[in-house]
Structure 1
Amino acid sequence: MTAPMQKALVRIACDEVEVEGMLELPATPIGIVLFAHGSGSSRLSPRNNYVASILRGARMGTLLMDLLTPQEDQAYQTRFNIALLTLRLRTAAAWLRQHSDTRALPLGLFGASTGAAAALQLCAQPDVAIAAVVSRGGRPDMAGPQMLQQVRTPTLLIVGGLDEVVIGLNRDAFALLSCDKQIVIVPGATHLFEEPGKLEIVAGLAKDWFATRMGMPALHAADN
């Protein structure tokens, strides 16, 4: 009989505030993926929750975090403060490293929009061990050229084929990366991958990228 999924609302102290996240673990996880949402989004994002469900189906735990409090997310200066988002993400990663059920698991990062910039800045820090990172419609350029050049974590950038401005920004960031890397342009997809079947493609790509970097054979999108 399959053991039930563990699910818990967690609160993580960051500076003088607490941020919330939803931690879900399958019975025998091969790794844990920490989600970094974009500005104006949250752990309730239906798109990131869909991707997270696919990852859990492939035996990966997920932690969907709010990197900002609701009040902070209303202020432009904090919504686009990549250094602050990176600090919060680092705190969440450290929490996972201390949690008894996740501390031994390979850690992956999934970033959207500004969350992708924070994820890559964290990967550039030499004292943080990240197995793999995936960006969905992200702004990796906002991590900054110097940080991008220091990233050694296997990095997958996924961009919608109709998201022309963001494609250019991702290609510029991709050129600066000197790690194991791949960029995938999803034909016919806009920034949020809202078109039928497009988010399923994103989830399949992310699943394979994380699985292979966490020591498992590729789990093809067709298996969804």
Structure 2
Amino acid sequence: MRDKNVQIPLKYITLYGRLTVPKDAHGLVIFAHGSGSSRHSSRNWYVAEILHDQKIATLLIDLLTDKEEQIDLRTRHLRFDIPLLADRLVEIASWAKNEPITQHLKLGYFGSSTGGGAALIAAARKTVPISAVVSRGGRPDLAREYLSQVDAPTLLIVGEKDLTVLELNRDALSKLNKHSRLHIIPGATHLFEEPGTLKLAAHEAMKWFKLYLG
């Protein structure tokens, strides 16, 4: 398994991430975390390790620079600029398609909270082919006008007790393609902090990516 820190140059900035590629990997999942989280998120890394066991590579990356994060602590506008984050995801996917150790892999997005909206907009752009999207506790309503343009099979994972977000995801599902699904995790709230709920969500994500990236 190759596991390394990477620097990804975009048009005007450089983003930092952690790329892990198991031997004989057959897909790469790019993570888009929610506001207030980072590439060091223990929840996202837990999901990533389950994907690694199934020979799926992962790229955990911060969509804002350290300087932008510091500015955003006062203004809080960048982390909620979902189209901007989506554009950066598209550039990251383009980088992956030109990187020797990942260029042959099918791509997927895994988005959490606001990152779910960014992942769906990025998939709708179609600049880079995306084979699957998973949104965990995501906000697909932030991508409302783009949902009908998403071709990738999309799995929306929501906690049973995350009532407002659950309704937003039910509405989003009606606008997504026929290959998309909503999976409700019993007893879970927004962050899947209840015992066993994150494990259930991670395994559903793994099965989805294994199906469409395999």
TM-score, reference length from structure 2: 0.95
Match of 2:212 in 1: 213
User: Which deviates further from its counterpart, 95-104 or 12-21?
Assistant: 12-21
Cα pair 1:153 1:179 within 8 Å, conserved: no
Superimposed CA distance per residue, residues 46-65 of structure 1 (whole angstroms, 9 cap, x where no aligned partner):
10000000000110000001
Deviations along 1:95-124, one digit per CA (max 9) or x if unpaired, are: 100000100111111000111111111111
Mapped contact 2:153–2:177 kept (Cα < 8 A): no
1:15 maps to 2:11: yes
CA distance in structure 2 between the aligned counterparts of 1:62 and 1:43, rounded to whole angstroms: 11
Alignment of 1:44-55 (within 5 A): 44-55=40-51
1:89 match: secondary structure: helix
AA at the equivalent of 1:133? V
| Distance change (3 Å), C-alpha of 1:156 and 1:107 | same
Gaps of 5+ in 2: none
| Aligned residues of 1:7 and 1:24 also touching (Cα < 8 A) | yes
Aligned in 2, Cα 1:116/1:22: closer, same or farther, shift over 3 Å?
same
Cα deviation code 1:47-100 (max 9, x no counterpart): 000000000011000000100113323241101001110111111101100000
Q: Aligned partner of 1:184: which letter?
A: H
Match of 1:34 in 2: 30
CA contact (8 A) 1:152 1:179 kept: no
Would you identify which runs of 4 or more consecutive aligned residues in structure 1 move more than 4 Å?
A: none
Which residue in 2 is equivalent to 1:169?
168
In the aligned structure 2, how far is the partner of 1:170 from the partner of 1:156? Answer: 10
Unaligned runs of 5+ in 1: 216-224
Between the aligned partners of 2:63 and 2:172, the Cα distance in structure 1 is 23
How much has 1:192 moved relative to structure 2? 0.4
Q: CA deviation at 1:128?
A: 2.1
User: Contact 1:151–1:179 at 8 Å: present in 2 too?
Assistant: no
- Alignment map for 1:49-68 (pairs within 5 Å): 49-68=45-64
State how far apart, in whole Å, the 2-side matches of 1:38 and 1:197 are. 21
Sequence identity (%): 50
Deviates more, 1:173-182 or 1:40-49: 173-182
Aligned pair count? 210
Query: Quick one: distance in 2 between partners of 1:41 and 1:90?
Result: 20
CA distance in 2, matches of 1:171, 1:55: 26
Counterpart AA for 1:47: R
Structure 1 residue 29 displacement after superposition? 0.2
Q: Do 2:90 and 2:127's aligned partners in 1 also have CA atoms closer than 8 Å?
A: no
Per-residue deviation at 1:40? 1.1
Q: Which residue of 2 aligns with 1:79?
A: 79
